[in-house]
């Protein structure tokens, strides 16, 4: 029976298979959030070294996004997506045989290729949908962030039963199988815009300051989400004394709504506008992060005016994750609206900077913890970042409004 008969090109099917693939890629990409805790114990790593370990895959997955996005535009998402998954699966399998910290960092660079799949999927999926539906479609695709919940919910049990090496081997096998399924069940996306004459021309929109502003929005919304997904189990164990299973379950519960509601963020961006969603996300994130900056009150203690208990912490971190998920979708709605012919390059750059947030922030969290001794110092950093971006966005919007009014007045004068 020919495999070709299973190929389909409808937008809904392309979105479904791409989202499932991205979910598994994201599960692999965040594998160190669980196995890194055991590795830290085995190798005696400090907080900064642990932050670097969990952040290295995020670094690779971020840096390759621009190139992968452009390659998708030029060579097709079906080919690039499949090869990216196979390369990440091989690296994850080899991770199981790493023995030293440097070896694990090197393997982590390869594991990070799984995160690059985001730029491939964004360019691939967007070409199936018209502009008025791209916010929703890309929001649904981005909900594949829920893959981190798969790792957090399943990896602790595999780790305890068979060791962290088994987690790497099983996750690698599943991703390789998904690559094969993707290749035989998808067709190439329709080319919406003609290929640019040269590879360099693909990067022309990246000169715009607006693109970089979008990128820093994503640094916070996505990078902050990834950083918290990686850091949260460790935070709950250190700040509140939870065991690894409980911490993994709570982190999973955080990751699921913080991922799935990205689809709602896309729908909301299509409905009321991405700009309003961004205002809402940054304002509420600043407030939530400020509250979470309070010191932790341990379980069994009453939270005072200057401390936050575990229940209150969990409720507020869930709210923070929810609003971050809305912002992630709103950023890519901006990209699809402003740069429809350059989603690969612009989406890749924005994804790269967002991913770098997921790399830099865990290291910063660890360094701040080492320097101050305060677990809550990570939320102080996030609160400052949210306020800064909110101010930048408001100034940019006011400037855009003034330019629009001035242009209208000039046109009327003519």
Q: Which stretches within 96-163 are classed as H helix?
A: 101-111, 117-126, 131-142, 147-162
Fold of 12-190+208-406: Growth Hormone; Chain: A; (1.20.1250)
What is residue 55's predicted lDDT score, i.e. its pLDDT? Answer: 78
Q: Which residue has the higher pLDDT, 191 or 160?
A: 160
Query: Which has the minimum average pLDDT: 24-33, 342-351, 367-376?
Result: 342-351
Quick one: tokens of 374? 């305060």
Quick one: tokens of 249? 């379950």
The mean pLDDT of the chain is 82
Mean pLDDT on 133-140: 78
Neighbour-count burial for 295-320, b at 16+ CB within 10 Å, e otherwise: ebbeeeeebeeebbbbeebbebbbbb
Quick one: tokens of 30? 């965040």
What's the pLDDT tens digit per position in 332-371?
A: 888 777 777 666 678 777 888 887 887 788 888 888 988 8
Counting Cα atoms < 13 Å in the Cβ hemisphere of 77 gives 32
What is residue 411's predicted lDDT score, i.e. its pLDDT? Answer: 34
Query: Which has the minimum average pLDDT: 123-127, 206-210, 271-275, 406-410?
Result: 406-410
Residue 302 has φ and ψ, to the nearest 5°, of -85, 135
State how far the Cα of 353 lies from the Cα of 69, in Å rounded to an integer. Answer: 13
pLDDT value at 7 more than 70? no
pLDDT value at 9 more than 80? no
Q: 296 in helix, strand or coil? A: strand
pLDDT value at 291 more than 90? yes
State how far the Cα of 34 lies from the Cα of 243, in Å rounded to an integer. Answer: 12
What's the pLDDT tens digit per position in 72-109?
A: 878 888 899 999 999 999 999 999 999 899 999 999 99
pLDDT value at 193 more than 80? no
pLDDT value at 246 more than 70? yes
- pTM exceeds 0.85, yes or no: no
Mean pLDDT on 313-334: 88
State how far the Cα of 11 lies from the Cα of 17, in Å rounded to an integer. Answer: 10
Q: Which residue has the higher pLDDT, 360 or 47?
A: 360
Query: Which has the minimum average pLDDT: 1-15, 41-55, 105-119, 185-199?
Result: 1-15
CB 126 within 8 A of CB 141: no
What is residue 60's predicted lDDT score, i.e. its pLDDT? Answer: 85
Q: Any idea where the domains of the chain sit in the sequence? A: 12-190+208-406
Question: Binning pLDDT at 50, 70 and 90, where does residue 198 land?
Answer: low
């Amino acid at each position: 029976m020919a495999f070709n008969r299973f190929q389909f090109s409808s937008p809904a099917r392309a979105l479904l298979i791409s989202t499932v693939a991205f979910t598994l890629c994201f599960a692999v990409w965040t594998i160190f959030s669980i196995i890194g805790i055991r590795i830290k114990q085995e190798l005696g790593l400090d907080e900064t070294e642990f932050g670097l370990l969990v952040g290295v895959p995020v670094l690779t997955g971020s840096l390759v996004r621009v190139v992968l996005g452009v390659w998708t535009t030029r060579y097709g998402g079906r080919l690039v997506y499949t090869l990216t998954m196979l390369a990440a699966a091989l690296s994850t399998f080899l991770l199981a045989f790493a023995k030293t910290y440097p070896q694990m960092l090197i393997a982590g660079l390869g594991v990070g290729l799984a995160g690059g799949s985001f730029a491939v999927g964004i360019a691939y999926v967007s070409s199936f949908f018209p502009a008025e539906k791209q916010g929703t479609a890309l929001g649904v695709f981005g909900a594949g962030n829920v893959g981190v919940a798969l790792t957090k919910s399943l990896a602790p049990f595999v780790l305890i039963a068979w060791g962290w090496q088994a987690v790497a081997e099983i996750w690698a096998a599943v991703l390789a199988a998904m690559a094969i399924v993707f290749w035989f069940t998808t067709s190439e996306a329709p080319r919406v815009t003609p290929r640019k004459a040269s590879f360099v021309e693909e990067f022309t929109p990246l000169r715009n300051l607006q693109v970089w502003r979008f990128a820093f929005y994503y640094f916070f919304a996505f990078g902050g989400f990834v950083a918290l997904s990686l850091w949260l189990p460790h935070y709950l164990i250190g700040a509140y004394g939870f065991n690894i299973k409980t911490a993994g379950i709570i982190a999973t519960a955080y990751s699921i709504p913080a991922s799935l509601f990205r689809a709602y963020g896309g729908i909301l961006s299509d409905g009321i506008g991405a700009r309003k969603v961004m205002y809402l996300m940054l304002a509420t994130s600043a407030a939530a992060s400020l509250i979470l900056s309070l010191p932790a009150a341990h379980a069994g203690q009453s939270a005072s005016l200057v401390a936050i208990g575990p229940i209150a912490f969990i409720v507020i971190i869930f709210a923070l994750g929810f609003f971050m998920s809305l912002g992630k979708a709103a950023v890519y709605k901006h990209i699809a609206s402003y740069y429809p012919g350059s989603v690969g390059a612009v989406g890749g750059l924005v994804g790269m900077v967002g991913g770098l947030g997921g790399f830099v922030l865990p290291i910063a969290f660890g360094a701040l913890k080492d320097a101050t001794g305060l677990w809550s110092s990570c939320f102080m950093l996030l609160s400052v970042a949210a306020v800064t971006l909110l101010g930048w966005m408001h100034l940019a919007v006011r400037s855009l409004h003034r330019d629009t009014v001035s242009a209208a007045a000039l046109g009327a004068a003519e």
